[in-house]
A and B are shown apart, each in its own frame.
Chain A
Amino acid sequence: MIYLKSFLVAGIICMIGQIILDKTKLTPGHITTIFVIVGAFLDIFNIYDKIILFAGGGALVPITSFGHLLIHGALENTVKYGITGLLIGMFDLTASGITSSIIIAFVLALIFKPKD
């Protein structure tokens, strides 16, 4: 059942992106940027948290979860540090993803040659 929910939620999020891409002049860069902002926005009211509870991996895979992780990392630290916690905790939950993509991209760029 969780797999069906994952399929539907991830599929619908990607489909919304595709429809925006086809119907407007926005580029994939615009779409991913908008989706990250939407992910952060929805968690002002804990909405994306509920989507993750409902769909598990299906809600964690799309880039919207990046916005969700940014705002929650920031908010978790406001408990201890007050408003400065937003600055301290911003990358707490996304550090692993950002760091691993940087290291992996760099090492692969050293090893491989670009096509054509």
Chain B
Amino acid sequence: MDKEKYQKIVDKNIPKENVKINATKAFLVGGFMGIIGQLLLDLYTTWLDIPTKDASTYMIITLIFIGSLFTALGFFDKWVSWANCGLIVPITGFAHAMTSAALEYKKEGFVLGIGANIFKLTGSVILYGVVSAYFFGLIRVLLFGG
């Protein structure tokens, strides 16, 4: 049997329901993360009496800290494989990817292990984020003057 035929049979037999269930999980968990984000924003603006812009920085750092800590404690991997994009797309996914890379390569040493691999999964986000922001920024400067 050639590969294309095989792939067609595989595609046909992947249960469609899973796609719906996964999408619902991602929607609910992702939405819940959004609520936590907004809740933290409100807490920081009222408690610390700071502008929303500063509060959003604190909020992002808080979520990064939670994502990293839960990853290091070991149970966040299970949450991520359950909720998938619900936890990967929020900033917690960025923290999770970086912390798990650092932990996983720890045994290979400080330089060739942690140093060389900490950006293994998040490097792509930073690389393409910077490249696209640069060129889109350039387009915007040329079109609208900044």
Contacts and interface: CB of A to CB of B under 8 A. Distances in A.
Contacts, number: 256
Contacts of B77: 115
B72 to A, nearest CB: 4
A65 B146 CA distance: 19
A14 B56 CA distance: 19
Contacts of B61: 96-97, 100
Contacts of A104: 64-65, 68-69, 95, 99
Interface in B9-66: 18-19, 22-41, 56-57, 59-61, 63-65
A21 B36 CA distance: 24
Nearest to B138: A86
Nearest to B119: A102
A70 B133 contact: yes
A14 B19 contact: no
A3 B31 CA distance: 9
A43 B134 CA distance: 12
Contacts of A19: 19, 23
Most chain A Cβ neighbours within 10 Å, of B57, B64, B85, B143 = B85
Contacts of B31: 6-8, 10-11, 14, 58
A109 B91 contact: no
Given A70-B133, A71-B133, A106-B114, A60 B35 contact: no
Interface of A: 2-3, 6-15, 17-19, 21-23, 28-29, 31-33, 35-37, 40-41, 43-44, 55-63, 65-67, 70-71, 74-75, 78-79, 83, 86-87, 90, 96-98, 100-102, 104-106, 108-109, 111-115
23 contacts: A3-B35, A6-B35, A9-B34, A10-B37, A11-B30, A32-B125, A35-B89, A40-B129, A57-B41, A58-B35, A58-B38, A61-B90, A63-B94, A67-B133, A71-B137, A75-B137, A97-B64, A100-B65, A105-B98, A106-B102, A109-B103, A109-B114, A111-B72
